[in-house]
Amino acid sequence: MTRIAIIGGGACGLASANQLKRKNPNLEVVVMERNPTVGKKILMTGNSKGNLSNLHIAPEAYNDPEFVKPALLYGPKEFLAFAKRLGLETKIDEEGRIWPYSESANSYLDVLRLSNRELGVIELTNYEVFAFEQNAKKQFIINGTEIYDYVVMATGSNAGYGPKAPVTSLPKMIKSTGHSYTKLAPSVCPIGVQENVRSLSGLHIKCGASIFVDGNKKFTTLGEIQFKDDALSGIAIFELSSFLARAFVQGPVSHADVELDLFPDQTEKAVAAMLKAKHELLPERQASEFFVGLFSKMIGLYIINRLKLQEITEASITEMAHLFKHFRFAVNLDYHATNNQVVSGGVRLSEVNNLTLESKLFPHLYLGGEVLDIDGLCGGYNLHFAFASGSLIADSINERITNHD
C-alpha cells in the first residue's frame, strides 16, 4: 500500500488528504499535526466567519502570478464543487467573497474533517515531526521509524497566533528538507504609523488608499479604513499590507507611506470648489466648526490640528483640498502587527515545480499552501490558494502513482 504523510493539518493539508483518498481509496493518508487539533487557523479566517474563497480569484491577486497559474486552474467554481461534495452550504456576498451559509468557519472545518474520516484519512494530533530524511528508494523516514512513499509539506506559518509568536515555524521544517526560504514578514494586517492617531482610535472611514515604498506607489484600493491607537486597519489596509510585506521580503525598506484619498470620486480641483462654496455659504463658520457635515467631529479636529488651521481662507482651502486627496501617514517600520492573517515569504519558488508543486530537490516531496513564498490579497485569496495547491498536489501524486513512478 502506498503511504502518504501530510505534515500540517491546516487548510492545504486537509484538502489535499481529502482529494487524495477520494480519487484513490487504496492510499494510506496520514495527516500529522503538532497541535491538539487540526484546522486551528481555518477557524480564524474571516473573523471566524470563514471567508473561504472569492469569485474573483486570479493570478494577479498573488505575489507571483506566473507561479500560481497552474494551481489556480482549481478556481472558485472548483472550490464550490468541492464544498458541495463535502456537504457544505455556501453563500456569496456583493464583493464576491465565498462564505459558509452559517457564517461560521467551524462549518467548513467540521464537514472537511467528517469527510476525511469517512474516507479513511488518519489524523495524528499532538504529533511533531522532529526528524525527516529520504532513503535510496526515495522513501521518507519520519521521526526515525515511520516510512512513507510521499510527503506533503503543508506546515503553514504562525500567522494569527499573536505578537508573541515567531513569524513562522518554517526555519525548523525547511532545515529538515534542505530547502531555503526567503525573508518572512507579517501580511494582511494593520500598518503601524508614526503620527499620533490615538484620538481617532475606533473610527471608520471609507476612502481610497495607496501604499508607497521608498517613494514608489505599489498599490491603490478603495475600502474601509479603521483607526487604531498607533496604526491603520480595515480591509483596505490589509490589502496594502500585502504589498508592504512583499517589499520587506524582497529587500530593505527605508521609508513607506500610506496615503488616503478622502474624496476618491472627485478631483482635487472639485474638492477645492466644494470647500469654497461651503465657506461662501457659511462664512461665519470658524475652523473648529467648518468640517461639521463632512466628517465625524474627531476627524475634523484631527485635520484642524494637522493643518494648524486658525481661520478659513482661500489659501487654507487649497491646502485642505490637497490634504483630503493626499492624506499621508508615515509607516512605522518597527511596528509589530498583532494577529496577522498571513505571512509573506516562504520556501523559494525556484526550488519547486509549479506544474506539480513537487520539490526540485527531493523527488516525492510536495509543498503547498503558506509554506511556499506565495501570498494573496485579503478576501479569501489565501485560503483559496491552500485549497488550490492542495488539489494540485493530490492530482500530481495520484498521476505519479498511476504512472508507476
Question: pLDDT digit string (tens) for 251-261?
Answer: 899 999 999 99
Question: How does residue 173 score in pLDDT terms, banded at 50, 70 and 90?
Answer: low
pLDDT band of 165, cuts 50, 70, 90: low
- Choose among 92, 81, 85: nearest CA to 111: 85
Q: How confident is the model at residue 138 (pLDDT cuts 50, 70, 90)?
A: confident
* Residue among 189, 34, 39, 13 nearest 109 (CA): 39
Tell me yes or no: is domain 3-185+341-402 CATH 3.40.50.800. Answer: no
Kindly report, residue by residue over 351-392, the tens digit of the pLDDT: 999 999 999 999 999 999 999 999 999 999 999 999 999 999
Grade residue 290 by pLDDT with cuts at 50, 70 and 90: confident
Q: Which of 133-137, 240-244, 296-300 has the highest mean pLDDT?
A: 240-244
Q: 87 with 401: CB under 8 angstroms?
A: no
Whether pLDDT at 349 is above 60? yes
- Which one has a higher pLDDT value, 375 or 293? 375
β-pairing, 191-192 vs 256-261, is: unpaired
Q: Does residue 230 register a pLDDT over 90?
A: yes
DSSP three-state, residue 61: helix
Q: Does 237 have pLDDT greater than 80?
A: yes
* pLDDT digit string, tens, across residues 25-67: 999 999 999 999 999 888 888 778 999 999 999 999 999 999 9
Residue 158, pLDDT score: 66
pLDDT of 336 reads 83
- pTM for the full model? 0.89
pLDDT digits (tens, 9 = 90+) for 2-26: 999 999 999 999 999 999 999 999 9
- Partners of 98 in beta bridges: 53, 92
Name the band, by pLDDT with cuts 50, 70 and 90, for residue 166: low
pLDDT for residue 3: 97
Using CA atoms, how far residue 226 sits from 5, 44, 202, 277, 355, in Å, is 42, 20, 6, 29, 40
- What's the CA gap between 241 and 237, in Å, rounded? 6
Average pLDDT, the chain: 91
Confidence of residue 167 (pLDDT cuts 50, 70, 90): low
**Per-residue confidence at 164, pLDDT binned at 50, 70, 90?**
low
The x, y and z cell numbers of residue 126, run together, are 499532538
Could you tell me how many residues make up the chain?
405
Instruction: Answer for the pair 312, 287: CB distance below 8 angstroms, yes or no.
Output: yes
DSSP per residue, 316-350: HHHHHHHHHHSEEEEB-TT---SS-SEEE--B-GG
Distance, in Å, from the CA atom of 392 to the CA atom of 186, rounded to the nearest integer, reads 26
Binning pLDDT at 50, 70 and 90, where does residue 309 land? confident
46 vs 188: CA distance, rounded Å: 11
| 315 pLDDT tier (thresholds 50, 70, 90) | confident
Domain residue ranges in the chain: 3-185+341-402, 190-336
Q: What is the pLDDT of residue 291?
A: 84
Is the CB of residue 170 less than 8 Å from the CB of residue 346? yes
Average pLDDT over residues 324-331: 96
What percentage of the chain carries pLDDT values higher than 90?
Answer: 72
Region 121-139: what's the mean pLDDT?
90
Confidence (pLDDT) at 216: 96
Residue 161 has pLDDT above 80, yes or no: no
pLDDT in tens, 176-227: 778 888 888 889 999 999 999 999 999 999 999 999 999 999 999 999 999 9
pLDDT at 163: 52
Helix (H) or strand (E) holding 205: strand 204-213
Which residues partner with 220 through β-bridges?
210
Q: How many CA atoms lie within 13 A of 295 on its CB side?
A: 22
Core vs surface per residue 193-211: b (16+ CB within 10 A) or e: beeebeebeebebebbbbb
Are 390 and 13 a contacting pair, CB within 8 Å? yes
The pLDDT, as a whole number, for residue 160 is 59
Residue 311's pLDDT band (boundaries 50, 70, 90)? confident
pLDDT at 331: 97
What angle in degrees, to the nearest 10, is found between the helix axes of 105-119 and 76-86?
Answer: 70
Residue % of the chain over a pLDDT of 70? 95
